[in-house]
Amino acid sequence: MSTLRMPLAVKVAFAASGVWLAGYELHLLVGLPYAGVLFNRYVHDGVLLLASILCGLRAWRGATERLAWGLIAAALLSWTLGEIYYTAVLWTAQSIPVPSPADVGYLGVYPLAFSGLILLLRARARHVSVTLWVDGLIAALVVGALGAAVVFEEVLKTVGGKPISVATNLAYPLGDLLLLGIVATAFSLRRWRPDRSGLLLGLGIVVFWAADGLYLVEVAQNTYTQGGFFDVGWWAGIVLIALAAWQPTKAMARRERRESVAAIYAPIGFALIALGLLVFATVQPLDKLAVGLATAALVAVMARLLITFRERVGVLRATRDEALTDALTGLGNRRRLMLDLDHLVDLRDGSFHLVLFDLDGFKRYNDRFGHPAGDSLLARLGGHFDTAVRPYGSAYRVGGDEFCAVITSSESKLESVLGGAVAALAEDGDGFAVAPSYGTVFVPAEARTSSEALTLADARLYEHKDSRRPAHHDETHSALLQALRERDPSLHQHLSEVASLARGVCRKLGLGAEEVDEIVRAAELHDVGKMAIPDTILAKPGKLNGDERAFMDRHTLLGERILAAAPALASVAGLVRSSHERFDGEGYPDRLKAEQIPLGSRIIFACDSFNAMTSDRPYARRKSLEEAIAEMKRCAGTQFDPDVVRALQSVLEAPPAGSPAGASSEAPAARAPLASV
């Protein structure tokens, strides 16, 4: 924003000029006493000269737009000098020569003012779109057509004599049309919301044009007399332009492209005006210039429609690409994968391999080095993966640390392509190692639909992941599970069912394979702390007393302590500690709330609670599947995470594998969730 403080003397000068102009017009209309000296024909020259000097002063003192305002000040001075000559020499002349020295001053305003206005427009409209420039062109053409229809034809009727006289007479309306066009363009670029400087500048030019137009029409009709009521229009226009120079200005800011119906109102309105002029020309002949400008305006409207259409197509294409592209790696996302899979399946004249990859070790890398480093690793591996797969098919990132490849090359090259893809998705360094597990499906031989192919590839991915799990990891986990089985066979059964439910919920929530594996292991071991609870408390019939309840509630802390002793289960230990926290913060042991609770712990708590509701318990009636789901939904937002409850309900209500959709099962309610996952 550009501001220039207006000195008090300048304010007084403008105020005095405004008062004098208003008094002059009032004197013409009603006649004021003792006005002979104040309103004689020479005083207005002083007002014009003062306005020109004030505009030049702004150009001299201003740090911005100095050249532009200097040219505009020169334009005002040129017109003022022409007016001074006219006042002194031609005011009372019986015959006014055309051209005269006054015409030199009057016509000098156009090239100077036009150049200054162009510089202002360039300075204040650096970041406007092509569409707005076309809107400005449309406005300029229509305003020019209106001006030509009103004034130019009247001038043409009286044009005659020497070529230089003809050129002089035609230069005035043409110059006015140029200035009006610039004003219309500037206002259009501002969305017809100009700042104070632009408003005063435009108003001054319009008032000046109105006076010029009335003068040309009256001269053409031989009715003009000096000092008439509209002569003030010229003088007021010059004062307004000079006043605009001292107003604060603001460059047109770069705006984001936004869809708005209002943006099309102005060009439509101008198009209707141009169309109306052309229709009127079929009834009443109009000047060829007006018809030509109106026609050009309609052509510009059509060009705007073409530009707008191309912009919208570009935006639509960019939006579609963004919707189908993973922002982090630049690979196709899950939506792109499904579209491509459906297309390949529908072709039915070829075969391809679908390969799902999951990065083992990535979660530990992310936890150790932070999410920005994890994102950087994914982007780097994604680029390597794309390079390895692209010559033979397409690469995708389907979420988290899961990648996918659709390989359309021959069967003989599959092994080498897989080797390259596995190498591309592997990286190791100081304290970390990331490498992929994968599952491969041959379509259509092994699956005939996209969903079947993805389900089978996912299952094979987990098989591969299990086969690659470190031996010490399995040994520790298996030892603890066996200890639970020996301690309490029914507890082991409960934990297995909770783990099975948790796996289904994790997949519904779209979690990565490594995170799913960690949560499932935590679900299998979430009650391992009960091994340290005395049998007198575990096997006690009826309700526990306060001390017994407090001791029982420590089982999550005991479970964390047991698991933390095994480095391979350290991450599982944290999930077990929080596996009885409530969503409303009323759980134990840390009274965590909502997102403070690890997602895995929220999943385990919901699955554990559901399994308890649908199992035989000595202290409560066993609920049916429908009753348990209703109870879970009622407690969503207080005890349970609502998102987890919705995912759990989706898992529970899914038809058992291998059963037709909608088929009912006579299995006990406690076994229904196991069949569904």
Give the active site residues.
401
Could you tell me which residues are beta bridge partners of residue 394?
406
Between CA 420 and CA 422 the distance in angstroms is: 6
Could you tell me which residues are beta bridge partners of residue 78?
none
The two structure tokens encoding residue 187? 């206002």
C-beta of residue 146 within 8 angstroms of C-beta of residue 273? yes
Beta-strand relationship, 352-360 and 402-407: antiparallel
DSSP state at residue 7: P
Between CA 166 and CA 432 the distance in angstroms is: 89
C-beta of residue 82 within 8 angstroms of C-beta of residue 115? no
Between CA 676 and CA 501 the distance in angstroms is: 9
Q: How does DSSP assign 260-315, residue by residue?
A: -GGGGHHHHHHHHHHHHHHHHHHHS---HHHHHHHHHHHHHHHHHHHHHHHHHHHH
Other CB atoms within 10 Å distance of the CB of residue 170? 15
The closest of 517, 501, 450 to 647, measured between CA atoms, is 501
Between CA 287 and CA 147 the distance in angstroms is: 11
C-beta of residue 434 within 8 angstroms of C-beta of residue 427? yes
Give residue 640's Cα distance to chain centre.
35
- Residues, the chain: 677
In the numeric block, the tokens 């009006």 are attached to 180
Between CA 225 and CA 197 the distance in angstroms is: 33
